[in-house]
Chains A and B, each alone.
Chain A
């Protein structure tokens, strides 16, 4: 077990290292000479050259990468070209709304997807099962921004039940905070719900066909505990795997959802940076999101042994 954790950690470090190389190369390939930007419009070529040397831009690429990686590991993601504020500070300012959105979406989506998937598997072949599966194909095909505008149009513009856009921090009360997050969470979570519901149904069907399920029924276990304790727990490994992989879907969706609902989170930060070509911000955010994805999937791998004691590494 310990050997597995060490091996898995090593491969995580390797993957993050590769991500770092990709992002570093993107930074180097991006147009515009950072030295010229810092020096300003009236600098002489000699001044620019001096800044290049002091920034280490004349070193060999490997040396530059080592310096860059060391700074990133120390939490220094560079400085925004446009606002001259450290990228790490900007991300810190914007992380609250993004975390709120991600947390509410995850909880909502998991609850809904597991309920739909378990119901569909339990009633496999019935009308209810077919309706859930058709809805999940549709849900998986609807673009986040189309769903977002549809929800805004119906529930905010027409019915006036919920606010159109924007975000209120949790510190200003749970009510306003939650009211602003209902529509974004639904728009963002739809594809995720569809994905997880499909896998849950498939995994549950496999488990429900097992002999021990027939035994459970025969000894009189009630339907609820049978489905949840006997079946869902044993179907856990594929479900938790897709929950981890689906995080990528959620991360891409966060960027779009924050744009649609005008939420001042990390997604908006990166979208604004695209239009201004503020490369340090773009790269910092990609590094952060890739790190989240890799760590979530590491935790998913480690959770297999908890879910299924038969899995021994």
Chain B
């Protein structure tokens, strides 16, 4: 009974979509579904990498720079390593970095943003700090942080998270500032609800839809930055195959063996494109205010 009275347009649409089945959903959201399918395939390949690819580190000097063939579907690089195996294992680095960076920067950014949106003194200080962080170009800030210690997976993730945090904080704060003036929040404040509970029950849910959209864009940018850092020799160490350091180590062989560069390059472009398409698709569904304009 209660539900029937307050069904939102989204809920009605969801109900209709259920009746029409999955095919209808796919046709209405081609970019979202296309992106998810590509990402699912890449994630599956990364998970079962040992089953579908050989040793990414095995050297076969006799086979160096051999073009794609039956034995080596993506050819071999200048040390005779199998490019297919390295590309598949490289997906592990990119996907892990993408997921880890967006999860961690969301968590930290959400916490800071909620506090900043609800406390004037915190807001002043935090937003100025964020302005300062935002002014340093992300790749350079990550490079500077990485130059402080030995490169490793954790350091790389941390170095990419720090430049992303201000973007999350700004988004959360802007949503909180809007929601804070809503009558239902005023009612909660007036009835003496504790601040923590107001934040958790009334403010947090409003920030989630735009935050989920932002999280996908952040993973896309994190994957690109990791690849760029590894390409510049400051990211993933060379003994772990990643798409960025594969391209870096093959760059002298562009004319001789283009597959050593374009196979990981294509994989990287496809994954980033898929994540961005998922982001656009989610934005259209979750944030109709922006979707109308884009």
A binds B: yes
Which positions in A face B, CB cutoff 8 Å?
11, 14-19, 21-23, 26, 29-31, 137-138, 140-146, 149-150, 152-153, 157, 198, 202, 205-206, 248, 251-252, 255-256, 259-260, 270-271, 274-275, 277, 279, 282-283, 285-286, 289-290, 293-294
Q: Residue-by-residue, is B243-266 near A (CB-CB < 8 Å gives 1, otherwise 0)?
A: 000010001001100100110011
Q: List 15 A-B contacts (CB under 8 A).
A: A14-B128, A18-B132, A143-B228, A145-B228, A145-B247, A146-B262, A149-B247, A149-B265, A150-B265, A248-B138, A252-B137, A256-B231, A270-B140, A282-B147, A290-B135
A19 near B132 with CB under 8 A, answer yes
Chain B interface size band reads 35 or more
Judged by a CB distance under 8 angstroms, whether B220 is at the interface is yes
Evaluate contact between A149 and B280: CB separation under 8 angstroms: no
Residue from the list A15, A149, A271 in contact with B135, Cβ < 8 A: A15
Cross-chain contact B254 with A149 (CB below 8 angstroms): yes
B272 touches A143 (CB 8 A): yes
CB distance from A163 to the nearest CB of B (A): 13
The answer to whether B228 and A252 touch across the interface, beta carbons within 8 angstroms, is: yes
List which B120-155 residues lie within 8 A (CB) of chain A: 128-129, 131-133, 135-141, 143-149
Contact, CB under 8 Å: B148 / A143: no
Of the residues A205, A256, A289, A290, contact of B293 by C-beta under 8 Å: A205
Q: Does B286 lie at the interface of the complex (its beta carbon under 8 Å from any beta carbon of A)? A: no
What is the bound-complex CA distance between A293 and B272, given in angstroms? 26
B148 & A26 in contact (Cβ 8 Å cutoff) = yes
Complex-state Cα separation, A140 to B273, whole angstroms: 8
Determine if B12 is an interface residue (Cβ-Cβ < 8 Å).
no
Interface pair B136/A286, CB less than 8 Å apart:
yes
* A-B residue pair count with CB separations less than 8 angstroms: 141
Q: What CA separation (Å) do A217 and B269 show in the bound complex? A: 42
Given A30-B147, A251-B140, A285-B140, residue A294 in contact with residue B135 (CB < 8 A): yes
Interfacial residues, chain B to chain A (CB-CB below 8 A): 128-129, 131-133, 135-141, 143-149, 220, 224, 227-228, 231-234, 247, 251, 254-255, 258, 261-262, 265-266, 268-269, 272-273, 276-277, 280, 293-294
Shortest Cβ gap from B246 to chain A (Å)? 11
Contact A16 B269, beta carbon cutoff 8 Å = no
Please tell me if the beta carbons of B294 and A293 are within 8 angstroms of each other in the complex.
Answer: no
A18 to B262, CA, bound (A): 41
Additional 8 contacts, C-beta under 8 A, given A19-B135, A202-B294, A290-B140? A141-B273, A205-B293, A206-B293, A248-B137, A256-B228, A260-B251, A286-B136, A290-B135
A198–B217 CA distance with the chains assembled, in angstroms:
15
Least Cβ distance of A295 to chain B in Å?
A: 10
Q: Are B144 and A19 in contact (CB under 8 A)?
A: no
* A286 CA / B135 CA spacing, docked (Å): 10
Q: How far is the CA of A29 from the CA of B234 in the complex (A)?
A: 18
Q: A26-B148, A290-B135 given as contacts; is B231 within 8 A of A145 (CB)?
A: yes
By a CB distance below 8 angstroms, the chain B residues around A149 are 247, 251, 254, 261-262, 265
Complex Cα–Cα for A260 and B227 (A): 14
Please indicate which of the listed interface residues A22, A140, A157 has the most CB atoms of chain B within 10 Å of its own CB: A22
Alpha-carbon separation in the docked complex, A21 to B143 (Å): 17
The answer on a CB contact under 8 Å between B233 and A275 is yes
- Tell me how far the C-beta of B143 lies from the nearest C-beta in chain A, rounded to whole angstroms: 6
- Bound Cα distance from A211 to B166, whole angstroms: 38
B121 CB, nearest partner CB in chain A, Å: 17
